[in-house]
Structure 1
Amino acid sequence: MTPGSVYKLLASLVVPRPIAWVVSQSTTGHLNAAPFSFFNMLASDPPVVGLGFGMHSTGADKDTYTNIIETEEFTVHIVTEETAEAMNITAVEAPHHVNEIELAGLTLAGGVAVKTPRILESPAALECRLLQTIQPGRTSKIILGEVVYAHVLTSAFSDLEKLNMDVHAIHQIGRMQGGLGGGYTRTRDTFDIPRPVWKERS
């Protein structure tokens, strides 16, 4: 199978995938925003998230990857139904000098533990520092980032003291396919299955 065929197959099988809306900046302060659905939480102690990168159509590294390598930090945002259109605008493969954040009309606020700003329109943002890079193949790269600070709307919690979240409160979306523009899913239709407890036979 060709790499393109493998991508199409896996991107339609490994679903639903959360979307990381990543803000990064270069050493000269140029800001970049882009969505990535090759993304997940990988550890909690320390808290670690992973991002998977392909290459630009030109064969060059993605601006987000280059910026993270240069500054060793980035901010991940949760994408919702309300921010989906703005997220899609930032997915454009624009020239390096284009500020996708301005293009999408987004509002920024300063970071607490990192210099990279965050998008105020997102209900949750994770400030991250570069932990490790992995290159499993010629055109694929993986970044692991340690979450050093989290911003979450208080309205997203059913019990703030216990940090219990109402997963339906912020209308997160995910990805069900790869490719351009298609295959998003809502996350409101959930169900519970009680987990069994093992009992030794007498």
Structure 2
Amino acid sequence: MDSVSFADLAPYERYKLLCATIVPRPIALVTTLGPDGTVNAAPYSFFNVFSEDPALIVLGLQHKPDHSLKDTTRNITRSGQFVVNLVDEAMAEGMNVCAIDFPSDVSEVEVAGLSLKDGIEIPVPHIAQAPFALECRREVSLAFGPQRELLVGEVLRLHARPGLLDSERLRIDTEAYHPVGRLFGDSYARQDDRFALERPSYADWLRSRDA
């Protein structure tokens, strides 16, 4: 089996290997509110759910090459509030536009042709076209060197596009939800090819082993 010591690799080489092997990754299109009222949006694929009690998500934030803060990090640092908008196939092109490094006073949401809905728990709007949007409040931020920051956020409310959520039974229509995952570089993945694996109990495993 081939192996590589990360101690022998430059950060960019580690990034290449990590991003090419840990796939697909969910995409968080994060909206934040600037001090002038501009709604900024930026996609992050260093993202996942962390806990349900309390309800927590984690975001890996990257700073600019000169170590200054990007709009998302700066806005969250100031207000402690943000929205994670999930990305599906219909939103993929808009998400890609939001990845452009626009000036701080330009709203990526407007340029991408997306629209906004007001928040309920927090003043930060969410993207109307998003299949799901999570209103979040910063729980803790941890800095790991001058380039990377780990953000843990508490989910306060979930918004769903009509037709995706049965709010009484708390069920998601997985046939209607078509998320995209980040691979590496310019590559993304659809999630339509799915299969099920039933997890057996220990007793069932013993019976199958002894059969």
User: TM-score normalized by structure 1?
Assistant: 0.92
Identity of aligned residues (%): 39
Q: CA deviation at 1:160?
A: 4.3
Distance, in Å, in 2 between the alignment partners of 1:97 and 1:28 is: 8
User: 1:26, 1:71 within 8 Å by CA — same for their partners in 2?
Assistant: no
User: 2:32, 2:75 within 8 Å by CA — same for their partners in 1?
Assistant: yes
Q: Pick one of 156, 160, 165 that aligns with 1:152.
A: 160
Amino acid at match of 2:196: D
**Residue 107, structure 1, aligned to residue 115, structure 2:** yes
Q: CA deviation at 1:169?
A: 1.1
User: 2:28, 2:45 within 8 Å by CA — same for their partners in 1?
Assistant: yes
SS at match of 1:138: coil
Distance, in Å, in 2 between the alignment partners of 1:168 and 1:132 is: 35
* Structure 1: unaligned runs, 5 residues or longer: none
Distance, in Å, in 2 between the alignment partners of 1:78 and 1:58 is: 29
Amino acid at match of 1:190: R
Distance, in Å, in 2 between the alignment partners of 1:153 and 1:26 is: 25
User: 1:129, 1:146 within 8 Å by CA — same for their partners in 2?
Assistant: yes
Amino acid at match of 1:104: A
Q: Pick one of 132, 139, 142 that aligns with 1:134.
A: 142
SS at match of 2:144: coil
Q: CA deviation at 1:164?
A: 2.0
Structure-2 residue corresponding to 1:170: 177
CA RMSD of aligned residues (A): 1.7
User: TM-score normalized by structure 2?
Assistant: 0.88
Q: CA deviation at 1:58?
A: 4.2
Amino acid at match of 2:175: H
Work out which of the two has the higher radius of gyration on C-alpha atoms and give 1 or 2. 2
Q: Pick one of 74, 96, 103 that aligns with 2:104.
A: 96
Residues matched between the structures, number:
198
* Structure 2: unaligned runs, 5 residues or longer: 1-8
